[in-house]
Structure 1
Amino acid sequence: MPALSLKQQRISIAEIIIIVALALVPLFVTFPYRVNIFLSWEGAYRLSIGEIPYKDFGLPLGYGYWIIPAIFFKIFGTQMITLVKAQVFINIISGLAFRSILKSLQVKPGVRFLSVLVFVLSYSFFNFWPWYNHTVIVYELIGLSFLLKALFSDNRKRNYIWFGLAAFFTFLSLFTKQDGGGMALMLSLGLLAYNCLATRRWSDLLVFIGMYVVIALLFIVPLLPGFSYWFNHGQPPHSSRLAVNDFTDEILGNSNWIKGYVVLVGLCLAAGIKNWGSWFQQRRDVIFALLTLGILGEAAIFQITSYTPPDNNIFFHSFAFAFIASYLSDLLQLNLDRTKSILGATVLILFWWSGTWWKYVGRFTDRLFPAQEFVSTPGVEHENVVNRRNFMVNTDTTDIPVSSWVFSDLAPFRKIYMPVSTVEGMNRLLQLPVVKENKGDLKVLNMTELTPLAVVLPYRPETGPDFPLWYHLGVGMFNRQLAAFKEKVANKQYDLILYEHAPGLNNFFPWALRQDLKEHYHQVDSFLAPRRPTNAVIEVYVK
């Protein structure tokens, strides 16, 4: 490999600084309690205390998502803020993996730098908390980075290491989320198939598949027979949650960014390729095109199969930008390696993705230039001012703005602010006689988003291969588990039950069980759940 010039070295250093510096930002701020983050904490906590998935708890996906947070729990403790530290690490390795992919494709340094900037701003900078719909893509990116190293390396012995690592992280992607991980595998196989066709080295495809199968068996076999919980084996429903019109409505009715990128990629290929036969033998160029189109296709499907939150699939921007910028710089003879060109393009990209950073800067400008609510005229009553901030009247009298949330003194919630009602409710909970009298032997069913209470009360989470990690009926648990909980409630097997009543969410915590709680237990308290909007209530039940 030729030595890098001084300018290329500076660009490489700048890329790493951007990746690391922006990833570290969350370490210096505080956060409101995030919706659904309880699931990240619960899985990481259970792994960190030695519990085994599918033996001590069941879940409808693999446990790859919780591996990194669990390791961080072992190192830094089980506070909620440790999840933020884990995500900092995830953001760094995702940026480095994307950069590695571009280096393997020999993207020019200037374009690579700008593409890394787009990746960080559009995909990782605002991801402060770990979430499986993000982690599944990160594992895919790591797998693709090792796969491309293997495809373009001439060292056959080293290739086996690259193929092994590619297979490992591609499987971890599947073992994090079925949809993203499955598409990661198909994309990897597609790139391998083309490479084998171009090089006539069909053994590469067999090596990758063989390693993938071996790794899958090493993960899955020790989890049998409880592993069948993933597929809700032995009970309905077994029908798909997707319909054809889900795809047609979203892809044809929306997805304007993705479709626009596909058109631009097609135009770049049409304008840049003079001889398709010879181009087909240019492996890096073809793999770059296949990878970009594959990522765009994956993003189109992923937004339907993983629809919450709605920006799960925006990993495609950076790939499309890298491809289009590479072709345009050649077609228009733009030298984006020059310092002035990079600075000018950087300003444009910061303007393009200003939405990801302006909300932080906007907090200061709002204080410097507060919105005017009325006009004061001497001798005249205050005149009503109607503008874009107040032209609609907010009739939601239950919502509590984040600006009035407060911090809790409880260790797991350090640096996390919540509604006053939530904080005061947790404090009252600790003063209940049943909690004070049964410390160390408290039997608790916690069907709320306050899962870190396990280390505060404290209590040992219930275990068993058929015990769900979380309680979303039809997603994390099913009718068989619901029936078991109803029986336990009727037999009063728990000393304390915390139930979150969220009427606006479809059985997020099973509604049918609430009726049994009303019948067999006494409700002694209730307080707001830590979510926005504040439309859910945590109810406290004792025998």
Structure 2
Amino acid sequence: MSNPFLTPRRAMVLECLLIVGLALVPLFATFPYRVNIFLSWEGAYRLSEGQVPYKDFGLPLGYGYWLVPAMFFKLFGPQLISLVKAQIFLNIVGGLSFRYILQQMRVAPGVRLLSVLVFVLSYSFVNFWPWYNNTVIIYQLVGLAFLFRGLGEGRWKWPALFFAGAFTFLSFFTKQDGGGLALLLALAILGYHSLNARRWQELAGFMGSYLLVACLFIVPAAQYGFGYWFNHGQPPHSSRLSLMDIFDVLLIESQWLKFYFAIIVILMLPELKKPRELWNNRGLMLFLLLTIGILTEAALFQVTSYTPPDNNIFFHAFAIAFILTRICSLTAIRLENLKPFIVAAAAVLLWWSASYYKYIARILSHLNPPATAAVVPGAENVVNRHNFMVNLDTTDVPTSEWTFSSLPEFHKVYMPPSTVAGIDRIMALPEVKKGKNAKVLNLTELTPLDHAIGYTQETGMDIPMWHHLGVGMFNRQLAAYTEKIRSKHYDLVLYEYAPTLNNFFPWALREELKRNYRQIDSFHAPRRPTNAYIEVFVR
């Protein structure tokens, strides 16, 4: 029998090249301003400036998400592109953690390499901006990697269990829903291990580490209104957990999740006939628990974190790894051989072509611009897939017309021309010339202006990090801002009016500004569609 093409060492090298190589691609790109990236910038900036969460600003989450971006602000400066660099780091960490988890599951090199390819194409390559719905999963993957190492033997067993507890808590302290599900999955794995091995030390070590790290983060914050800000379902927060929503989304949508569940059940039928043997097959049980747990987590996560709609696509690579492992164990197929691997890799590349083809399409469109059908009076009305819809939105500005600002905070990030011109007018205002002494309230997505203007940010236990009413701030903060506006406390107020979003920036504050301040400017907000406006008010 000839030696396989994919030896363990060769597979490891290719996996690392895939993970690191695709993660580095965004370094060579420019980006349109991303919706909601203002929140990532604001938290990273406040932390990098030494502000203390809950003491200097409040937020309904833990601050685990902002730790890595804040570190990159310290290293590279408070530019938006520093957030992309932070996500590159997170993508590499997440990819290596996923690879290590499969290695601990004893997944064959060919299946593992294909699964890594699915992971980077389906999940990490499309996430080039940091977002807490992604970071919560990255921390979970790191925690799972340490957990499976801690369930083995050797000198690193107990340090690995400590870091498993620490990163699983960081997942919870990044986003409550995803982090809570990460904890439940870890406990399910530890529960099986404890029952199967008849030993509880690993479960105790994990929980002890989790609680210790939790105390290190939460106890210092308790004196600063942590219980008010942190959303655990208490007023003024509201819970997003609804059984009806879960059933609706699972049974009406979720096609891939249900498909994977069905295939796994079919492939496990031989083992399900012998439950005792399955229970004692430690490797298969752990892999099955992990995969089913990830699919269940994705089914719940898509309901509790419903925007953007692809938050939960981390499950594809886990499901494919398990399914291919079962297929290979039931057949003579060996993906370590060159021909089967090439065929399977080509199928994966075709399956996930949407991840990379859009970048290829940009190049092709420049080389061969699409022909447009001109309207000729009296001639045939040419209708095709490019023009069958009539766009009546007169506010829309295509991204092809967006441009760059001269401010370093917006380096490599392009915005509507109206936005760029509006920023320049703001920077020329006499109120901005006051620098640190300027009193500014920035109720917009253009949070990098905080650093560009250089004013001293408001801090305090009742200052929200962002101003989405009912999510990032509440009526108590609204009343305080209303009073400040009525007393004309601020020199300059920047307000974003987004009429299609539910109090994304409180509408009541706009009414107060109309009554007590003078509006001197208005321009497009940096979002698609461009149907929101930034309004500039001075005393």
State the superposition RMSD in angstroms.
1.8
TM-score between the two structures when normalised by the length of structure 1: 0.96
Q: Deviations over 1:485-512 (max 9, x none)?
A: 0011111111111000000100000001
Aligned to 2:413: 416
1:278 paired with 2:277, answer: yes
* Correspondence for 2:82: 82
Residue of 480, 483, 492 corresponding to 2:479: 483
Any conservation in 1 of the 2:271–2:277 contact (CA below 8 Å)? no
- For 1:313-462, what aligned pairs fall within 5 Å after superposition? 313-374=312-373, 383-436=380-433, 438-462=434-458
Give the equivalent residue in structure 1 for 2:174. Answer: 176
User: How many aligned positions are there?
Assistant: 535
The residue aligned with 2:497 is 501
Specify the code of the residue in structure 2 equivalent to 1:539.
Answer: E
> In the alignment, what sits opposite 2:210?
212
**Residues 522 and 232 of structure 1: is their aligned pair in 2 closer, same or farther, counting only changes over 3 Å?**
farther
Q: State the distance in 1 between where 2:114 and 2:124 align.
A: 15
1:535 equivalent to 2:531? Answer yes
Determine helix, strand or coil for the equivalent of 2:435.
Answer: coil
Partner amino acid, structure 1, of 2:366: R
For residue 327 of structure 1, what is the amino acid of its counterpart?
R
- Looking at structure 1, the residues matched to 281 and 9 of structure 2 have their Cα atoms a distance apart, in angstroms, of 27
Matching residue of 1:131:
131
Matched, 1:12 2:12: yes
Distance 1:484 1:233, change over 3 A: farther
The answer to whether the 8 A contact 2:5-2:338 is kept is: no
Cα deviation, residue 247, structure 1: 1.0
Aligned residue identity for 1:489: I
Greater shift in the superposed pair: 293-302 or 340-349: 340-349
Letter of the 2:250 partner, please give it. Answer: I
Q: Secondary structure of 2:448's partner?
A: helix
Within 2, Cα distance between the matches of 1:17 and 1:526?
Answer: 47
Given that 1:374 and 1:382 are in contact with CA atoms closer than 8 Å, whether structure 2 keeps it comes out as no
TM value normalised by structure 2: 0.96
Give the AA of the match of 1:98: F
Residue 59 of structure 1 contacts residue 229 of structure 1 at CA under 8 Å; is this kept in 2?
no
Structure 2 residue ranges without an equivalent (≥5): none
AA aligned to 2:469 is L
Instruction: Provide the secondary structure at the position in 2 that maps to 1:539.
Output: strand
Q: Distance in 2 between matches of 1:412 and 1:238?
A: 33
- 2:117 is aligned to 117
* Amino acid corresponding to residue 21 of structure 2 in structure 1: A
**Match of residue 197 from structure 1:** 195
Partner SS state of residue 79, structure 2: coil
1:374 is paired with a residue whose SS is: coil
Equivalent pair of 2:59/2:230 in contact (CA under 8 Å): no
Against the structure 1 CA distance between its residues 163 and 417, is the aligned structure 2 distance closer, same or farther, given a 3 Å change threshold? same
Partner of 1:308: 307
| Residue 333 of structure 1: how far off its partner (Å) | 1.5
Deviations 1:347-402 (A, max 9, x none): 1100000011110111122234433333899xx96543211111111111110000
**1:198-242 CA-partner distances (Å, limit 9, x unpaired):** 101112111111111111001111112221233469984354334
Answer whether contact 1:54 1:229 (CA < 8 A) is retained: no
Q: Which letter does structure 2 place at the counterpart of 1:334?
A: I
Cα distance in 2 between the residues matched to 1:302 and 1:273: 28
- SS class of match (1:311): coil
One-letter identity of the residue aligned with 2:445:
E
Distance 1:530 1:375 in 2: 31
SS for the counterpart of 1:228 is helix
Which runs of at least 4 in structure 1 moved beyond 4 Å after TM superposition?
A: 232-235
8 Å CA contact 1:398–1:534 kept in 2: the answer is: yes
Show the 5 A alignment for 1:92-171: 92-151=92-151, 153-155=152-154, 157-171=155-169
Identity %: 58
**Are 2:256 and 1:260 equivalent residues in the alignment?**
no
- Pick closer, same or farther for the CA change 1:384–1:5 going to 2, 3 Å: closer
- Amino acid paired to 1:27: L
Decide which moves more: 337-346 or 226-235.
Answer: 226-235
For residues 485 and 305 of structure 2, the distance between their equivalents in structure 1, rounded to whole angstroms, comes to 33
Sort the Cα spacing of 1:204 and 1:50 in 2 relative to 1 into closer, same or farther, 3 A: same
Secondary structure of the residue that 1:433 maps to in structure 2?
A: coil
Deviations 1:28-72 (A, max 9, x none): 010010000000000000000100100000000000000000000
Distance (whole Å) between structure 1 residues aligned to residue 517 and residue 257 of structure 2: 52
1-side partners of 2:33 and 2:530: how far apart? 12
SS state at 2:414 partner: strand
Name 1:36's counterpart in structure 2: 36
AA aligned to 1:359 is K
Q: Which runs of 5+ in 1 are unaligned?
A: none
Check whether the contact 2:5–2:337 (CA below 8 A) recurs between aligned residues. Answer: no
| Distance (Å, rounded) in 2 between the aligned partners of 1:394 and 1:234 | 42
| CA–CA separation in structure 1 for the residues paired with 2:491 and 2:283 | 63
